Amino acid sequence: MQVYADQAATTKISERALQAMMPCYTDIFGNPSSLHEVGRAAEEAVEKARKSIASAIGAEAGEVYFTSGGSEADNWAITMAAQLGAKKGKKHLISSAFEHHAVLHTLDKLKKEGFEVTLLPVHEDGLVRPEELEAAIREDTALVTIMFVNNEVGTIQPIEKLGEICRQKGVLFHTDAVQAAGHLPIDVKEMKIDMLSMAGHKFHGPKGVGALFVRKGIAMSNLISGGGQEKGKRAGTENVPAIVGMAEALRESLENREEKNAAVLKMRKRLTEAVLQIPKSRLNGDPDQRIAGNMNFCFEGIEGESLLLYLDLQGICASSGSACTSGSLEPSHVLLALGVPVEIAHGSLRISLDESNTEEEVDYILQTLPGVVKRLREMSPMWEHIQKGEV
C-alpha cells in the first residue's frame, strides 16, 4: 500500500484540472498577445481564468496577476511594498518568525539593502497575537506580511484582525495564502488584505503557476521587463495551460468545501488521538486553530529523517516539516519559533492529508507508525537516557 500523506508539499493534479488544460496544448495553442483568432482564443482562456480566480477570493479580475508559483508571488509582493515604502522614507517591515523561506529570505535580502525587519513571535500555539502586531507597527512601517496558514504546523492566523489593524494604521498587508487557498474561504475585501499569494499545485492544480492579488490603487512595480503581459508588470508569454488548470482546480477545491473539510477533520482527529498514545510524543501548534489536514508531531529520542526513511520503506510518504529544508540537518525554524527544544524538534513528523486521502489510509498509518517509532527508539542511544529522565 502506498499512502501519500504529504499534501502540504504538493498535490496530484485533479482529473478535472488536467482535462481543462489539455485543449490549451492543442487547439488553444495561440499566443494570448496575438491579434488573430488563434491568439484571441488563448487570451480569452487566460482572462476567463483570471476572472474565476478573482471571484474565488472576492477580488476583481484586474487585481490578479499570474506568476510562476507561490515563491515568485511572495518575492514580488514584498519587494514591491518595500520599494513603495522606501520612496516615502518608510523602511520598516514586519513579518513573523515562522514564515515560509520565500518570505524570510526575501526579507533577509531587503535587510542587506537597508530595511529594518521585525519578526513577531508565534508563541507555543503557532499563532501571532494581534495586539503584538499593533504594538510593532511604527510610523515608518511599509509592510506587514504574515502567512494565512503555516505550511509546517497548519495553524490559521487571525487574518481578518491583522488586516483590520493594518488598514487602520495605513500599512500595506500581504499574506502568503499558499496553504489556505482552495482549503479555506478567503475574501480579500472583508479580510482587508492588500496583497495575497497562492500556488496552483497546493490545491490539485499544476506546478509552476501561481497568482498574486494586488489591490487596485497600489502602484505596482515591474517584476520582469519585456512585453506587455500582466499589464506590463510581468513580461513573458503566459503559461496558458497552467493558468487554466489552476483556475479549474481552485473552482473544484472550493466546491462542497465544508463537507470535504469535515471528512478530513474526522481523519485527523482519529489519527492524532491514536498517535498521541505513543509515549513522549506531542502535537505541535494549536490543536484546533489549524487547517483540517495538518498534523505535526514530535517523538522524543529519534531523528525525523530516519523516521521518514522507515515510513517510506513501508509506503508512507510524509515529511519532517517543509519539503524545502529536508535534506538539511538543521531543525525546522518553524518548530524552533514555537519554542520546541532543539533536541525534540529534530524528531518531527508532518502528516498532511486532504480529501483525496481515505480512512483506510489512516488505518494503515496507524498500523505502521507506532512500530516504526518503537524500533527507531530501540536503536537510539538517547532513548534510554530520556526514559530514565536523564535528559
Ligand X SMILES: *Cc1c(COP(=O)(O)O)cnc(C)c1O
Residue numbers annotated as active site: 324
Q: Which three cell numbers stand for residue 105?
A: 529570505
With CB under 6 A as the rule, give the number of residues binding ligand X. 14
Q: Which of 151, 155, 319, 320 binds ligand X (CB under 6 A)?
A: 151
Give yes or no for residue 238 binding ligand X (CB under 6 A): no
Q: Which of 32, 69, 182, 301 binds ligand X (CB under 6 A)?
A: 69
Choose between 249 and 372: whose C-beta lies nearer to ligand X.
249
Choose between 42 and 178: whose C-beta lies nearer to ligand X.
178
Q: How far apart are CA 73 and CA 70, in angstroms?
A: 5
Q: What residue is closest to ligand X based on CB? A: 70
Site for ligand X in 90-119 (CB under 6 A): 100, 102
Count, residues in the chain:
391
Q: Which of 57, 147, 243, 307 binds ligand X (CB under 6 A)?
A: 147
- Stretch of 24-32, 66-74, 90-98, 274-282 contacting ligand X, by CB under 6 A: 66-74
Give yes or no for residue 181 binding ligand X (CB under 6 A): no
Give yes or no for residue 3 binding ligand X (CB under 6 A): no
Q: Which of 176, 248, 300, 361 binds ligand X (CB under 6 A)?
A: 176
Give yes or no for residue 71 binding ligand X (CB under 6 A): yes
Q: What share of the chain is helix, strand, coil (3-state, %, to 5)?
A: 45, 15, 40
- Stretch of 173-181, 239-247, 267-275, 376-384 contacting ligand X, by CB under 6 A: 173-181
Give yes or no for residue 70 binding ligand X (CB under 6 A): yes
Give yes or no for residue 179 binding ligand X (CB under 6 A): yes
- DSSP-assigned letters across all residues of 188-227: TTTTT-SEEEEEGGGGTS-SS-EEEEE-TT--PPPSB-SS
- Stretch of 64-72, 113-121, 277-285, 335-343 contacting ligand X, by CB under 6 A: 64-72
Q: How far apart are CA 247 and CA 224, in angstroms?
A: 23
Choose between 141 and 151: whose C-beta lies nearer to ligand X.
151
Give yes or no for residue 50 binding ligand X (CB under 6 A): no
CB 104 to ligand X: min, Å: 10
Q: How far apart are CA 281 and CA 267, in angstroms?
A: 19
Q: How far apart are CA 327 and CA 314, in angstroms?
A: 20
Query: Residue 296: which of 330, 332, 254 has the closest Cα?
Result: 332
Antiparallel, parallel or unpaired: β 116-120 and 141-145: unpaired
Choose between 71 and 253: whose C-beta lies nearer to ligand X.
71
- Stretch of 34-42, 171-179, 239-247, 359-367 contacting ligand X, by CB under 6 A: 171-179
Q: How far apart are CA 308 and CA 328, in angstroms?
A: 14
Q: How far, CA to CA in Å, does 132 sit from each of 21, 103, 306?
A: 45, 20, 38
Q: How far apart are CA 294 and CA 334, in angstroms?
A: 14
Site for ligand X in 188-227 (CB under 6 A): 199, 202, 210
Q: What are phi and psi of 89, to 5 degrees?
A: 75, 15
Q: Cell 491583522 belongs to which residue?
A: 162
Choose between 110 and 196: whose C-beta lies nearer to ligand X.
196
The amino acid at residue 272 is T
Q: How far apart are CA 64 and CA 274, in angstroms?
A: 43
What ranges in 276-354 are assigned the alpha helix state H?
304-313, 333-337, 342-345
- Stretch of 131-139, 175-183, 274-282, 372-380 contacting ligand X, by CB under 6 A: 175-183
Which chain residues interact with ligand X by CB under 6 A?
69-71, 74, 100, 102, 147, 151, 176, 178-179, 199, 202, 210
